Chains A and B, each alone.
Chain A
Amino acid sequence: MKKISPGAVALVRALLALDDDADGPTAQEDVPPEDQLGVAALFTSLFVLAVQRQYPEGASRGEIIRFVAELRAALPAGTSVDARATEEMITSVVDAKRREEIPHEVAAESVMEVLQYLLDPAKIGTDELEAALARAIAFAEEHGLDAQLKVEESYGSQS
């Protein structure tokens, strides 16, 4: 088990709007390279856990299509996220048999938008967001830093 570094946690906290430390990291480039894998593992863990929490009993494709539509409808004007890629990202968590190859940048955007939608502190409260982050840190540390992939494999096997 390898610990997620404080720098990685600080960046994720900032991106989730949990901290507004002017001197803290606010972008991937602000953390040293050795922390960046931790950031990716932490975001993946947050995503997997948030989707599982949203759909503890699983979800049909129709439900996922409508969920992503609600998420996109709530986005501010001028912003967008790839609908089908986001549906596939969620499906890969809900249905371990399915996995589409999605370009990294598109996947990262989808993950961020889903997290901002599901973990919006205005909706779930700061305490719940802190708890979600704590669960994600434990999950990421349990599954190892060298992968994002390990986290993904445990919930969505490569097809």
Chain B
Amino acid sequence: MTTDREPYLELLRELTHGDPGAYRERCRQLDEAGWQELGLVLGAAFFLAARERLGERTTRGEVIRLVAEVRSKFADTTLNLDPELAEKMLISALTGETGDVEDAEQGALLETELVVLWHLLSDAPADKLDRFLAEVDQLAEEWSEED
């Protein structure tokens, strides 16, 4: 991967595959360089990961349970994701309808994407993660060309 999205894709790898030192260093570098592509890359990753985990016939109950599973992993921390927002984001990724999340605060969207991605990707084997990040890069490229 040699695109200008590479730092964000690597950030995702470091976030989900437990290299906190590299993740912190990446964040420091991005603090200096700017985080312009973060929303695009995270959005593409969230979209693909949600569709991979939840099929077209997913019920509302399954979405609610998935979000609860994510939130319960952080139950003993100060992180308290908005479950209704996370559920709407997952449903939006599945349906392509963005109306329910358009008014959400950007910081909450990014935080939710990061945390849910951490949950969805953290047990993916390295080769699968490589393929996934390549797909994310491609989708982000397509989305940026559409804009």
Contact = CB atoms under 8 A, between A and B. Distances in A.
A60 interface: yes
Given A84-B80, A84-B82, A65 B61 contact: no
Interface residues of A, number: 17
A62 interface: yes
Given A69-B64, A72-B64, A60 B75 contact: yes
Contacts of A69: 64-65, 67-68, 83
Given A68-B68, A69-B68, A83 B75 contact: no
Interface in A12-69: 60-63, 65-66, 68-69
30 contacts: A60-B75, A60-B76, A61-B75, A61-B76, A62-B72, A62-B73, A62-B75, A62-B76, A63-B72, A65-B68, A65-B71, A65-B75, A66-B68, A66-B72, A68-B68, A69-B64, A69-B67, A69-B83, A70-B65, A73-B60, A73-B61, A73-B62, A73-B64, A74-B61, A77-B60, A82-B84, A83-B83, A83-B84, A84-B82, A84-B83
Interface of B: 60-62, 64-65, 67-69, 71-73, 75-76, 80, 82-84
